[in-house]
């Protein structure tokens, strides 16, 4: 199996820029979670869980109590849709 790459939505890129100004530690944790997602998208740290309802087909991992990483997976990419807030 070839390795996946990360693909960020414009909204997720904006959120990443906002978070980087506020908390470098949060960005470091997000980076660790993302690397783990690339290797193993459905298990590991951050309590990966499939989302339901309007977000069915997406997954989330906890970055901290306030922020979640929301993503979708296919064979080639982890599509990151959000990394700030809780399912905004």
Q: Active-site residue numbers?
A: 49, 86
Cα separations in angstroms, 4 against 38, 54, 79: 6, 25, 10
Which neighbouring-strand residues pair with 79?
7, 72
């Amino acid at each position: 199996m070839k390795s996946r790459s990360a693909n960020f939505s414009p909204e997720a890129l904006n959120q990443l820029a906002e978070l980087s100004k506020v908390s470098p530690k949060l960005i470091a944790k997000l980076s660790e979670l993302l690397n783990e997602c690339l290797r193993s998208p459905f298990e590991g740290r951050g309590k990966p869980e499939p989302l339901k309802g309007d977000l069915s087909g997406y997954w989330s991992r906890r970055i901290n109590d306030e922020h979640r990483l929301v993503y979708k997976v296919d064979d080639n990419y982890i599509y990151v849709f959000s990394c700030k807030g809780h399912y905004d």
